[in-house]
Amino acid sequence: MLLPNNPDLDPHEVEEKLRRIASERRRPQPLFSKPAVTAAFAGIEAAPAAGGLRAFVKRIPGIGPAAIAAYRLYRNIRMPGMSWRQRVRLIPVLGPLALWVNGIVRLNTVRDQIALDLEQVRQAQRASDAQAAARLDAVATRIDAADARIGSAVARLDLLDRLQIERRLHHLDMLDLAHRLQRLDALNLEHRLGGMGNALADLRAQDVARDNLIAGLKQELHRALRTAPTAALPPEGMTPPRDAVPATGFDEESFYIEFEGLFRGSREDIQQRLEVYLPYLAHVATQDGARVVDVGCGRGEWLELLAAQGIAATGIDMNSAMVEACRQRGFSAECADAIAWLRRQPPGSVAAVTGFHLIEHLPFETLIALFDAALHALQPDGLIIFETPNPENLQVGACNFYTDPTHLHPIPPPVAEFMARQRGFARADILRLHPYPDSHRLAEDSEAARRINQALYGPQDYAVLAWKTHAN
């Protein structure tokens, strides 16, 4: 019995086929039955039992071998699994002849079949061509649909652009600019630009006049307060009262000279940092008799840089050793209290007052007095430049600022700008300087990294620049 272990075969069908083949091979009766042989060959002596029926038939003269050959032929023809053509081909002489005749007879049928097959192939080709054409038509339809969608999208974008323009125009109308647009439309582009430039110039002139007016009023107010009998005058100078200084024998001048030599940097480094201020004083070199006063001149790096630019400058410092070092280099320097010295100058006699890392050493009242004294001495277009550590940098505000033990407290940039304006300067700006090099910064491109770089590695210093009058 077959086991159903092959999914491609039906075991029941195969088993039925084998049973049918086995039944065909069994004969219901022997080829030569004993009664038939006895009747046909009654006079022939029976063959010995040892040779069997086949050997006995072979010994029959003439008929025996022919019968055996015919039997073999019959068995071959009846062998299962062959087609009828194969069976006919086994018949001697007649078989091939019959097949040849059958072939001749079937020529027309074969030809018709071939023609039919060719026609079916042509029909299949035509059907395939029709399907390909249908697919091409479908693709073309899809392309047309895509073009239509693209056109619709372009139309929508145009509509959105028009809507944006209309919304902006409506916004301008809400700002009461419709009459301005009508006037601008009536003019050509050159006239429009000229009109806008003139309007901006008028606005700038108005701002300058307003700033100068406010500054003048503040200056008059401060002068009135200083001349009033009951007004509280600011300190006369930058030095504390003598009775407030303990007699410890400490030589502050020599201490500060050694301190600057160790912590401030070389003269070349300081001059390179100070070059950023030269453009603000370029006009001073062209003014006859104009001079710059450097308050707290120290070792004279700024005086040397100004002299190289042809700008006359005077250094003021209370450290006699510093003043002597500046004089030995050929610079004009005086050992004096800067506030008192500025107050003694004729009004409008100084082109600029500068001070680098000075204001953080002064008490509040003294700092206000320094602003007032500088305003008194400055000419109408004069300015002040005060550089100081920037507490917006956390490392500076929390640590580096206190490296110098004579520092009092850091001054935030907005406070310094406010103080300049409040004391009567018409214009004040903040210039942030000296950020940490890129090697200190975080290389990440993230919001956290940007904030950390700004807080820890941003500008270490800043300068407040203030002008006595707001020039056009």
262 CB contacts (<8 Å, ≥6 apart)? Answer: none
pLDDT of residue 110: 79
DSSP 399: T
pLDDT of residue 371: 96
pLDDT of residue 62: 72
385 CB contacts (<8 Å, ≥6 apart)? Answer: 277, 280, 352, 353, 354, 355, 463, 464, 465
- Per-residue pLDDT 10s for the chain (472 aa) are 555 566 667 777 888 888 877 776 655 555 445 555 455 445 444 444 445 777 777 778 777 777 777 777 777 777 777 777 777 777 777 778 877 787 787 787 878 888 888 888 889 888 888 898 899 989 989 998 888 889 888 888 888 888 888 777 777 667 666 566 666 666 555 666 666 777 777 777 777 777 777 777 767 666 676 665 544 444 555 655 444 444 445 555 555 556 565 556 678 888 899 999 999 999 998 888 899 999 999 889 999 999 999 999 999 999 898 899 999 999 999 999 999 999 999 999 999 999 999 999 999 999 999 999 999 999 999 999 999 999 999 999 888 888 888 899 999 999 999 999 999 999 999 999 999 998 888 888 899 989 998 889 999 999 999 999 876 5
Instruction: Give the whole-angstrom CA distance, residue 382 versus residue 352.
Output: 5
pLDDT of residue 67: 79
62: left (phi over 0), alpha (psi -120 to 50) or beta: left
Task: Say if residues 435 and 460 touch (Cβ distance below 8 Å).
Answer: yes
pLDDT of residue 30: 53
Query: Helix count (H) and strand count (E) of the chain?
Result: 18, 7
pLDDT of residue 183: 65
pLDDT of residue 48: 45
Task: Say if residues 306 and 351 touch (Cβ distance below 8 Å).
Answer: no
pLDDT of residue 312: 94
